[in-house]
């Protein structure tokens, strides 16, 4: 097989198309705004950074409504979604003003917005942020969390759609 090249595509187009072909786990990050109201967003960029000590990262836009709350020392919850959490994923990916309308969440540790119906969640403290252009990487230390029922297929985001990860 030869290597294909298409020099007519822009780096931006190649980037978007390549990542559309890369299935990624789906998580929701929630935290509190300075006024104490809940905020959050969906993330396909959650990754483990270290097991000892337990650290993770996620990426986000600095133009996101939650960005102003991303300060070192602030608490966040990272929620991992199962394939049966489609309605929750759609709600949290929708309009920012409607993400916390309803009974799909309740105050959790430190008053942080805790979502119902997730497969696992981590209670985290922001350790550091790295700003790059209009984006940022946020590093967090895991201080707690919980695991829900095992055996649920994880939700993935692939080709601009929600899907189910299954064993091959």
Query: SS3 for 111?
Result: helix
Fold category of 11-159 in CATH: Pnp Oxidase; Chain A (2.30.110)
- pLDDT (tens digit, 9 = 90+) per residue, 64-73? 888 989 999 9
CA 118 distance to own-chain centroid:
12
Cα(113)–Cα(88) distance, rounded to whole angstroms? 13
| Residue 1 pLDDT exceeds 50 | no
What pTM did the predictor assign?
A: 0.90
Specify the higher pLDDT residue, 22 or 107: 107
Concatenated DSSP letters of 63-107: TSTTGGG--TT-EEEEEEPBGGGHHHHHHHHS-GGGTT-SSSEEE
| Residue 94 pLDDT exceeds 60 | yes
| Residue 140 pLDDT exceeds 80 | yes
What's the confidence (pLDDT) of residue 132?
95
- pLDDT (tens digit, 9 = 90+) per residue, 157-167? 888 888 888 77
**Domain positions in the chain:** 11-159
* β 105-107/120-132 pair status: unpaired
Q: Averaged over 122-132, what is the pLDDT?
A: 97
Most distant CA atoms of the chain, gap in Å: 57
């Amino acid at each position: 097989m030869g290597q294909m090249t298409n020099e007519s595509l822009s780096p931006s187009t190649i980037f978007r198309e390549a990542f559309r072909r890369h299935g990624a786990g789906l998580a929701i990050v929630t935290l509190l705004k300075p006024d104490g109201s809940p905020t959050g967003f969906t993330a396909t960029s959650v990754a483990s950074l270290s097991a000892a000590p337990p650290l993770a990262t996620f990426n986000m836009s600095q133009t996101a409504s939650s960005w102003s709350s991303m300060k070192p020392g602030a608490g966040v919850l990272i929620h991992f979604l199962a394939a049966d959490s489609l309605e929750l994923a759609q709600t949290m990916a929708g309009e920012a003003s409607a993400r916390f309308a309803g009974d799909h969440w309740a105050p959790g540790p430190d008053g942080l917005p805790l979502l119902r119906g997730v497969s696992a969640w981590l209670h985290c403290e922001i350790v550091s942020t790295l700003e790059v252009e209009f984006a940022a990487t946020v590093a967090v230390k895991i201080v707690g969390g919980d695991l829900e029922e095992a055996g649920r297929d994880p939700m993935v985001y692939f080709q601009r759609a929600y899907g189910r990860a299954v064993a091959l």
